[in-house]
Structures are given as structure tokens and as C-alpha cells.
Chain A
Amino acid sequence: MPRKVRVSEKSRRTTAQAPGSGGEISRVPSVTPPVAFPIETLVPQVRLQTPAVGQRVTRPDGRSHGLGQTRYIDDLAFPGMLYAKIKRAGIAAARIRSIDTREAEAMPGVLAVLTGFEIPVNSFGPSLQDQPVLADQRVFHAGDGVAAVAALTEQIAAEAIEKIKVDYEPSPAVFDPLQALREDAPKVHAPASNIYETQVIRKGDVDAGFAKADHIFEGQYRTQMVEHVPLEPHAAIAAWDPNGRVIIHTTLGRITLGRADVARTLKLSLNRVRIVATIVGGNFGGKNEITQEPVLALLSKKTGRPVKGVFTRGDEFTASTTRHPFIMDYKTGVSKDGRIIARKVRLVADGGAYCSWSETTLGKACILSTGPYRIDNLLVEAYVVYTNKTMTGAMRGFGAPQVCFAYESQMDEIAAALDMDPLQIRLLNAFDEGAASPTGQVLHSVVLKDSLLKAAQRFGWKEPRS
């Protein structure tokens, strides 16, 4: 028997009246009961199967996803919930002279406004705490949040942030990482240098290696900034309980780190912060650190109501982390039979406006930059620089995909120059069991050559191309 749905006049009126606004806002949604489905909990059988390898695995969450019953953060609603929007700077580098929120505050339906000055500790980050929750003194990239609004509807919040007036004093910006390396470039986080992380790996003697080499190959390889584009935008809902604890439902992946960042920025002890993460609609590294959580928490504190914030797709591109672009210079010395004798690498990672996960990215890139090849003489010098662009952070691979593009491209170029089969030159140089990584780690379960040979056989490497 289909359930009758009546829009209750009473519920519409009570949610529509903004305190002190004097007028009725008629565009406020009412909440009707959800559809009931028999949610069966599937017990994953894979652990009971022996051997597990080779068995068919059914994902336990597949049924709920297919039914459309999985509740992601934006699918959650709480009574009295408000909606927040964040105003983005729209300018790459500037000093903030003033922020005028009066017109926004006066709008019917707006219940609270927040600026960076109200954040107890306005800085966070997984390694360097160089990112403001909301920019207060300076703007470092165009996606910086400069103010936030909580309102009865998303539309009111979106209109309210347009009414916030920010007076900027533009400052010189730097966008090219190679320019940012130079001493005379504008300093993104003045007075600190733009180079905020350096790593060097030295092994053997590259100069002696080059002297011994029959051929030297040099090339520069570049990769671009990539955005994760998870289908689900960043979303969070913050609410407080009467014991002074904040509960944040969020798309955040690393919730223990996030909890620490929220506690730190809000000056709360850890035991007053509860982070609830649910099924996420794609992360890929882009949801590894807090974004709007402290903002929503403070808006919730100001209004006494739960506050939900959902990034627009535009926010995802400008205000969430991206993959580091890399500029990679490779100089490789090889013997005439194709053996790599020496390799010198310079990596410049575009570190965007904030450090985020750049340390990890640079570290991995460095170690992997010479490729899975036995090389006795190595020099890797790697830098990550600030630029006034969207912050670069974790994205699957963490620096590995970028350097892989470089060393594999150069491998093909070397093979072509020496008239060698690209597969043969790799087999000649590849790691074996017990080989050492550039940093001296002894590698086990090395199946590189086997894999290459099997793969080559499977896709007919030897067969002439039609």
C-alpha cells in the first residue's frame, strides 16, 4: 500500500522562519520518510574459502550501491541542518586589507558568517602547518577560502558569499616552478624560500660514470597537474553535543590525522573531537586531509545547529589537492651494449600553495626516480617549490607515476638510439632478486624480468605488427 505523503504545513513554517528575519522563506525543503528496502548484510565468504587466491569475490557493499541505498555524506540530513558555502579568493596572491561581511549577515536566511580571524589556530597541514583554514592575512592561491556562510538553504548561502566584500592588495605571484626556484622570484610564503623541501640521493660517482660511458643521453620530461575528480565532491556535516564535543561526518579519509588537525585548529582536546567517516565516493588521495571541517564546526557552534558543506565541482578543481606536476631532467650514461652506468636526475616538483603531502611525494619520487634498474653511479637532486597555484598533495602513486614517465620514456629513447629492442634493454638493466634500491634497501620477491617476459609473450611482442 503506497504511503501517503503530505507536506506538513507546520513543518514548512517552522523551518522556514529565520529567527529575527521577519519574513517567510518559502524555498526551504521538508524531509519526508525514506524508502524502506530489505538491507541484507552479506558476509564476505572469501575468508572462509581456502585457498582464497583465485576465488570469486563479491564486494559486500555492492548490493547497497546498486540499490542506490548507500548513504554518502551528502545523502545525510539532520533536523535543523544548515548549509554552508565558502567564498574563494579568486586571486592568486594578495594581502587581505579587509573583509566586510555585514551585507551577507543581514540577508534573510543567513544565520552565521565566519572569517579566518575567528579560527583559534588558523593553520594546519600533514607535515608543515602552512595552510590556513580560512585565509585571514594573505591569499596564496585563487582557491583559498576567505570567508564562509551558514544559511537555511544552499542557494541562500551561495548568494550570501557573493555579498561578502574582500579588499585585496594584489602581490606578485609565481606560477612556473622553474621560476619559483630562482632567488629573484616572488616568495609565496615570504620571507621563507620557495624551496620548501630538498632531497638528495648519492651513490657511487656519477662524474666518473659519465666519463666511462660510451653514450650520454639527456632529456627533460614534464608531467601535468591532475585533479582526482572523485565523483563525490568533498562533503562534511558538523554538529556539537551538549558535552562540548564536536561530531563531524565527513568524506575525509585519514580520520586520525583529521581529528588531530581539527582539535589543533579549534583548540580542543582530542577527546572532544569525533570524526565519523562513511563510505566515500572516491578518494584517490584527494580526501586525505581536512578542508572545510573546522569551518563547519565553528559555524555549527555559532548557530547551535548541524551545518553541512558540499564542495561544488569547481571547488574540487581549485580548492582541493591535486597531483604534483614534475619537471624532470635526466642525464644517463650507457655503455655501447645498453648497460646503464651512471644516471643524474634533477626533479622539480610544483608544490602549489601549501606543503600538504609534498614531503612524501618527493621522497617516493626520489627513490623511484632512477627506475627499477641496476645503476652503480647515481645522483638525484629533488626540490619541491611553492607556487601560487592549487595545492598539490596525495594522489595515487605519490610521485611514482611522474618519474616512471620520465625514466621509461628515456629508456625507449636510448633503445631507439642504440637500435636495441626496448624489451631487451630493460631485461639487461632490470633489478634481480637481492638488488638494492638507490637508498640501499635490499629488494626481495623481485619478479621484474619474469613479468616482462611473460607479458611480452602474452601480448605477442615478438610478432610483427600488422
Chain B
Amino acid sequence: MTDVTNVTMRLNGETRTAPASPETTLLALLRDQFNLTGSKLGCDAGDCGACTVIVDGKAVNACLMLAAQADGRDVLTIEGLATLERLHPIQKAFEDNASLQCGFCGPGVIMSAKALLDENPDPTAPQIRDALAGNLCRCTGYAKMIEAVHDAARELRAQADALPGHKRRRAGGEMESA
């Protein structure tokens, strides 16, 4: 394709379509077409992580994907975490721990944390650091973010355990009954 075509994706749980020219990045599509400005442009080169979103379950830099590459895929942005009724536990933990200052890196960090906790419900501090290594922050020094991820992990595990008949996945990947 040479010109503007439609890109269709499952975006924050809804099927959505927007026009995109081939050279449009996923980040530009999210910000300009869907007005989802939570994902930020910090460097446009995949270094700072401010544009982190989750595509097909994996945290990626939206500035390093062409919009067309997201066609047919599942995309989760920061705007897809909270509902009208409640914050996502990660967002709540970040708020309670005062983990963000200027806030610009926040959405990217929270998305990286979400991707981590989706896979590893009980991460160690080194594992959290590894998961957040692609997100730069100039304000906070990261310490309170790591505490917040610990808190969120604990809360998410508690919520999962509270579900009847729930099978909890242990950190290694094997299933066990709650």
C-alpha cells in the first residue's frame, strides 16, 4: 500500500479502525487518530519507554512499530486499565506510594509493570527492575515505583485468590489451586 489505508485493531477491548499512512507509527496513530494521549513521545527512538503499550500481551515501544503492524492485533494502552468505577491496582499503588512526580514517564512505567505482572504475579525486586529497565525517569529515582509494583502485585494476588475456585499461577508458570 502506498497511501492511507484503514488499520483495525482491538484497542482497549473495543474494535477500532483509523486511517494511517504507511510511515505512521503506532504511537502517532494512538495519539493523533484516537486522541489517546496517555502514551507519550519522549525520544521517538525506543530509548525512553514513555510510549510503552502492550501489543498481543507484550510490552513494546509504540514509536518503533508502524501502525500497519498493529493491524489485527490486541493493543492495550494506559487508558485501558481503569474502568469508570475503579482504578487498576497498579494505578492505585502508584498513587498511594506517590511514585510519580512530573508524571510524564508514568503511563509507560505502568504499562511495563502491567506486562510484568500479567506474566509473573510475584516478582522479586531484581525482576521488577529488569521489567522497568526500558523506562527512563528523571524525577523520582525509581524506588517508589518498585515499591508500588510490589504492592500492586500483592493486591492482584489477593484479588485473584478471592475468586471462587481460582487457580493461581505460580511465578514459575505451573498452576496450583488457591
Contact = CB atoms under 8 A, between A and B. Distances in A.
14 contacts: A5-B18, A32-B33, A35-B35, A35-B79, A58-B98, A59-B95, A63-B87, A65-B107, A67-B78, A71-B37, A77-B35, A231-B48, A283-B102, A310-B41
A30 B31 CA distance: 11
A67 B94 CA distance: 10
Contacts of B87: 63, 66-67
A68 B39 contact: yes
A216 B96 CA distance: 54
Contacts of A35: 35-36, 79
Given A231-B102, A281-B40, 13 more contacts: A5-B16, A26-B4, A32-B18, A32-B34, A37-B79, A37-B84, A62-B100, A63-B91, A66-B103, A69-B79, A231-B104, A232-B104, A310-B41
Interface in A47-104: 57-59, 61-72, 74-75, 77
Contact of B103 (A26, A233, A281, A310): A281
Nearest to A38: B84
A465 B145 CA distance: 31
B112 interface: no
A313 B45 contact: yes
Contacts of A446: none
Contacts of A70: 103
Nearest to A32: B35
Nearest to A12: B19
Highest count of chain B CB atoms <10 Å: which of A5, A29, A68, A75: A68
Nearest to A67: B82
Nearest to B17: A5
Is the contact region of chain A dominated by helix, strand, or loop, or is it mixed?
Answer: loop
A27 B102 contact: no
Highest count of chain A CB atoms <10 Å: which of B82, B92, B104, B106: B104
B142 to A, nearest CB: 13
B14 interface: yes
Contacts of A72: 40, 104
Contact of B21 (A27, A230, A310): A27
